[in-house]
Amino acid sequence: MIEPDLRDRILAEPERLLDDRDVMNALVAANERAMGANIVDLRGIAMQRLEARLDRLEDTHRSVIAAAYENLAGTNQVHRAVLHLLEPTNFEAFIAALTGEVAQVLRVDHVRLVLETLQEDGTSDPTLRRLGDVLEVVPRGFVGHYLTNGRGGPGRPVVLRAVTGLAEAFYGPLAGEIRSEALMKLDLGPGRLPGMLVFASEDPSQFKSTHGTDLLAFFAGVFERTMRRWLG
């Protein structure tokens, strides 16, 4: 017999039993045992299938919420980085912000700005000399070659990937530390060769080809427009 107090509580709030999955499973199992082994409880089978479906829906719901929060966090990161990029009032401060506050906000270990040139010594340009170690002056065609990993063609404007065989020549002594990279092709304006902004990470999972590129495409758009002003 059920204790009177417990019975009264169940009768007063039966919905509390319905909301408790473990209790309901125990009641269904007890009902099946009471019916005997020769009876198939279709209602119980249907409940089990609905329960399994509910579990899958809850897992999907949690995954969608987690992805939404992750996307929101990434958006906030890029917005903060853009604000740091727009704040400087001179070119030296702009480059310092790129390799300093921007790199910290985006949590990247190394930043490279790649500029193509037709000159044998591209660093003779006084504007480019002011860029310091972040600058990589390369011959015409290098950006497309590196973006496509030597396959040729126009390539995508933003590429996320693990480092390839080209990394050793590009990163030099740092090549052994780099595990993934984000490559953003830059349009520096009419009459100028393309450039490329590179974010490199020692974390192999930071930049993957399966990740979205919309936020970095937006950041690259802001960066290239700001660079046009300084280089112009």
Where the chain has pLDDT below 70, the residues are 1, 31-47, 66-71, 119-132, 154, 232
Q: What is the pLDDT of residue 24?
A: 74
Q: Using alpha carbons, select from 162, 232, 223 the residue that is nearest to residue 197.
A: 223
Q: What is the pLDDT of residue 72?
A: 72
The domain 76-231 belongs to what CATH superfamily?
Answer: GAF domain (3.30.450.40)
End-to-end CA distance of the chain: 90
Q: What is the pLDDT of residue 151?
A: 84
Q: What is the pLDDT of residue 204?
A: 92
Q: What angle do CA 94, 217, 64 make, to 5 degrees?
A: 125
The residue ranges of every structural domain in the chain are: 4-57, 76-231
Taking a C-beta distance cutoff of 8 angstroms, is the pair 111, 198 a contact? Answer: yes
Q: What is the pLDDT of residue 186?
A: 93
Taking a C-beta distance cutoff of 8 angstroms, is the pair 147, 170 a contact? Answer: no
Token pair recorded at residue 166? 């080209």
Q: What is the pLDDT of residue 178?
A: 92
Q: What is the pLDDT of residue 90?
A: 85
